[in-house]
Amino acid sequence: MNLSIRHGRVKQAIWVESPNCDDCDDGFKPEALIIHCISLPPGEYGGGHIAQFFQNTLPVEKHAYFSEISHLTVSSHFLIERDGRLVQFVSTDKRAWHAGESFCLQKPKANNFAIGIELEGLDSDPKGFTCLQYQRLAELTQCLIQHYSLITSKNIFAHSDIAPGRKLDPGPFFDWVRYLKMLAN
């Protein structure tokens, strides 16, 4: 799929707006990509719970874990589901609340200058991520690199890189070599 971006939105992505974002500072230009992973409840895939979480509509009665996290207001710019479906929650012209307390490119607060991409998965799942997810991630990354001149393949980080000790994702089962090789093609 050939992805294109206009006014902060990837045309081919499913748009599911999250309120968990805010305006960026004047002169904002994305400089980095942060790769995350998430599954809700942990270790379970599908069900639409990630979108509900990013929209603050998680049904707390469906799972005990949901009541533990329902007070959080987080989002990401993008989610790539197990089947490769691309969902966008926040315009890339806005600040998504994905990185939390973080340090990246010798600066604090990565949300101020980074685009967050979530992969549906669990950092400890030995099944890792699907072929379709890697393919879509490479396509999305190429689109963002073409659109934003400050983002390069050297400015792609794991959540664990920018929040060490606090975050583990995308974890040891994310194949960085495979992903970066796909970017080079």
Which are the contacts of 185, defined by CB distance < 8 A and separation ≥ 6? none
DSSP state of 103: E
Q: Identity (one letter) of the amino acid at 43?
A: G
Q: Is 118 a catalytic residue?
A: yes
Contact of 20 with 99, CB cutoff 8 Å: no
Tokens describing residue 149: 């001149």
H or E, element range at 161: helix 159-162
Tokens describing residue 123: 């950092």
- Rounded Cα–Cα distance for residues 140 and 4 (Å): 9
Contact of 120 with 82, CB cutoff 8 Å: yes
Which one from 31, 118, 120, 139 is the annotated catalytic residue?
Answer: 118
Distance of CA 40 to the CA centre of its chain: 15
* Catalytic residue positions, numbered: 118
